[in-house]
Amino acid sequence: MKLNLYPRNSWMIAAFFAAVIMISAVIVLSHDGRVPAHPMDQSFVSSADLRIGQQNGAWYFNYPHLQWSGGITASLIVGLYKLIIPASSDHLNHHIKIFAMLLFFITGYLLASRYIKTRPGLALFIAIMATSGFQFIEPTSELIAAAYLFAFLYGISRRWNVFISAFFLVCFALCKAEFTLPAGLIMFYWAWVTPSRGLKALIVGGFVFWLAVFIAPGIYLYGRENFLGAEGHAFAAFGPHYSALMAKYKLIDYPANNAWPQWVKIMSEEFPKAKSFSDLVIRYPQKYLLFVLLSAWTGIGILILTFKGLLGVLALRWARYKEKIMPNHFEPMILIGLIASIIPATLIAFLHSRYLGKSLILYSLISVVFWEYCRERSDKPAYAWQARIILALLILTLVLQALGLKFMIQNAHFL
């Protein structure tokens, strides 16, 4: 059965999308507009500052650190927003959350419009994106990172100049220190599948060029060790996650709701001789292995709770993995990004729902495209049944997300 293409200027889709944005903005505005104080990750919104000036006769410029919760490129875009649109401290968080939400929604919609062929399919994708609740999560650096990644994938689909596409991929990489690995692997895969040797060189060269542009100011201002600091970042991330996980499974004598803030004390008791993350792994391999196993088990549960019915759709898609449903090597890139995000999170921390927001939206897109693909071939019974099953799983995901939306809104910073 041939599907009718939806008109690009469909007022129904535009109205639905606008309603989703407006309702989400109203929900954001109904909450406190003050930026949470440190150590909350969202505090990067307050510290993002691109002003240049003099203090006590010395020039200052607060270039962001990669290891901070806003990374470099999320902090830069927030700092630029604050320069252009000043906001009072009572409403700064409103401004930035709505701004990040707009970036997230618009880039997600543009990307979906490149691959989804039908009006019902696009409406279904928008509904899943809206009910996911990820537009409300904190820190908003997660949303900004998603927008950069969506913009990169959109640029690939439109065959933008590789330097422009590489710019957005590097922006994604530097939103948080953890994103450098998935972005780097995506870049290498992109170069590998590109047939032209000249374009391969441009892809790698463009990625390295933009990386140097963003990293050089920090190295100049703070020095290499202070700027990179991977060991310190890993240890600071591992400590509270280890404490929370061990308390959850009652393997340390601390209540689960109090272990996270007590992580420094717990780490000194559990790993008294460890002076860094690598030192901890070498000196206490059994404790570390136990943590990794519990982290992986916890991550499986988080993955199931986050993806819901989409896991069923992806299982069906895997059964037909030889059939190409999307061009531009879209699916392998997304899979590489997901795996490269999950593994470090499991080894150093444990999986949080917010880490999966980008992948959830991208796999929602793949699921809707797969549904359309099967519907187009519904004259064959096998495809007709698969189309019905996929639609049922997509609707199930939509319903479960809608039921959990209140929880997502109320726990925006703790997902």
Q: Is 412 exposed, middle or buried (0-12, 13-18, 19+ CB in 10 A)?
A: buried
Extract the tokens encoding 358. 């980008």
C-alpha 242/C-alpha 261 separation (Å) is 12
- Residue ranges for the chain with pLDDT beneath 70: 1-9, 53-60, 224-232
Q: Residues 245-260, buried b or exposed e (16+ Cβ, 10 A)?
A: bbbeeeebebeeeebb
Extract the tokens encoding 401. 């997300």
* DSSP secondary structure code for residue 43 in this structure: G
Note the pLDDT of residue 146.
Answer: 95
Note the pLDDT of residue 1.
Answer: 47
Note the pLDDT of residue 49.
Answer: 80
Domain ranges of the chain: 24-228+284-410
Percent helix, strand, coil in the chain, to 5, is 70, 0, 25
Nearest by Cα to 13 from 88, 158, 116: 116
C-alpha 165/C-alpha 182 separation (Å) is 15
Nearest by Cα to 170 from 162, 160, 180: 180
Note the pLDDT of residue 123.
Answer: 93
* DSSP secondary structure code for residue 64 in this structure: P
C-alpha 69/C-alpha 36 separation (Å) is 13
C-alpha 86/C-alpha 99 separation (Å) is 13
Nearest by Cα to 337 from 128, 169, 101: 169
Reported as a single tens digit per residue, the pLDDT across 81-102 is 998 988 888 889 999 999 999 9
**β-strand partners of 60:** 53
Give me the amino acid identity at 232.
Answer: G
Q: Is 62 exposed, middle or buried (0-12, 13-18, 19+ CB in 10 A)?
A: middle
C-alpha 214/C-alpha 216 separation (Å) is 6
Note the pLDDT of residue 86.
Answer: 85
Give me the amino acid identity at 254.
Answer: Y
Nearest by Cα to 100 from 39, 42, 143: 143
Residue in this structure with the two tokens 């880490």, named with its chain if needed: 355
Residue in this structure with the two tokens 């992109």, named with its chain if needed: 190
Question: Residue 387 to residues 14, 211, 327, 375: CA-CA distances in angstroms?
Answer: 26, 43, 20, 6
For residue 69, the surrounding DSSP H or E stretch is none
Extract the tokens encoding 298. 């916890």
Around 215, how many Cα atoms within 13 Å sit in the side-chain half-sphere?
A: 19
Task: Give me the long-range contacts of 51-59 (CB less than 8 A, separation at least 24).
Answer: 51/83
Count other Cβ atoms within 10 Å, centred on residue 130. 22
pTM of the predicted model as reported, rounded to 2 decimal places = 0.91
The DSSP-derived string for 297-336 is HHHHHHHHHHHTTHHHHHHHHHHTTTS--SSTTHHHHHHH
Contacts of 62 (CB under 8 A, 6+ apart): 47, 49, 50, 51
Contacts of 352 (CB under 8 A, 6+ apart): 302, 345, 415
